[in-house]
Structure 1
Amino acid sequence: MAKYLISFPSKAMVVPEGELEAVGRAARAVIDEAKAAGVYVFAGGIDEAVPPALVAADGRVAAGGYPWAPTLDGGFTVLELLSREQAVAWAARIAKACRCDQELRVFGFDPRS
């Protein structure tokens, strides 16, 4: 089994006014289905009210992330699945619930982690 990251950046989720609550219910329903199926690892969104910090090996902390990297925001779901085909199917369900396309990535396997 592999762990898959299904995610979207904040700007991708454009929901008409008055429909955000329905989107939230639909997204939570898919997460509940993933939990019931035993494939759920975790899900959530980046708290954009809290700015990122860049922490060096010596413990120094600088405001912000890598200046050259794209902003990391939006929503994330991690599922543990048997195949990429299953991951695509779950990503499609999440895309339908959130009303925006989802990016799909697989975590590399490290047997010691």
Structure 2
Amino acid sequence: MTRYLISFDDGTMNIPEDELPEVSEASIEVVREAQDAGVWVFGGGLESQRASVVGTDGTVTDGPYPETKAVLGGFSIIDVPSREDALKWAAKIAAACRCAQEVREFMADPTA
């Protein structure tokens, strides 16, 4: 099987305050479904913040890299047989979270 990162940028999840409990429950249900299907690896929402970038010399600067403006809002890691399966899970997450999701394949890891 192959692992995929499903993620969204902070700020794309523009939900009215009174709808947040409904969105939260829908998101939790998708995670439970993925866990029950045996494809869930890990995931979660991230605090709204810029990343710290640690250079090869140990220097720490505020990030992200200058060429990017997006801040990661949340992510899921799943382990599925195909990209098509990853896209189906991303669609479920997008519907629950009410925001588009990006899908990226991890490189093969012989130790995983």
Larger deviation: 7-16 or 73-82?
7-16
Give the unaligned 5+ runs of structure 2.
none
Q: Deviations over 1:73-93 (max 9, x none)?
A: 211111000011111111111
1:41-52, aligned counterparts within 5 Å?
A: 41-49=41-49, 51-52=50-51
Please state whether the residue corresponding to 1:57 is helix, strand or coil.
coil
Measured on the aligned residues, the alpha-carbon RMSD in Å equals 1.6
Aligned in 2, Cα 1:100/1:65: closer, same or farther, shift over 3 Å? closer
Larger deviation: 55-64 or 96-105?
55-64
Give the unaligned 5+ runs of structure 1.
none
TM-superposed CA distance for 1:71, in Å, is 2.4
Q: How many percent of aligned residue pairs carry the same amino acid?
A: 46
Distance in 2, Cα, partners of 1:71 & 1:92: 21
**Other-structure match for 1:25:** 25
Please state whether the residue corresponding to 2:56 is helix, strand or coil.
coil
TM-superposed CA distance for 1:70, in Å, is 2.7
- TM-score, L = length of structure 2: 0.88
Distance in 1, Cα, partners of 2:66 & 2:52: 11
TM-superposed CA distance for 1:112, in Å, is 4.8
Q: Deviations over 1:47-79 (max 9, x none)?
A: 225x42121222222233312223232111110
Q: How many residues in Structure 1 have an aligned counterpart in Structure 2?
A: 112
1:95-110, aligned counterparts within 5 Å?
A: 95-110=94-109
Distance in 2, Cα, partners of 1:16 & 1:48: 17
Aligned in 2, Cα 1:102/1:3: closer, same or farther, shift over 3 Å? same
Larger deviation: 58-67 or 25-34?
58-67
Please state whether the residue corresponding to 1:110 is helix, strand or coil.
coil
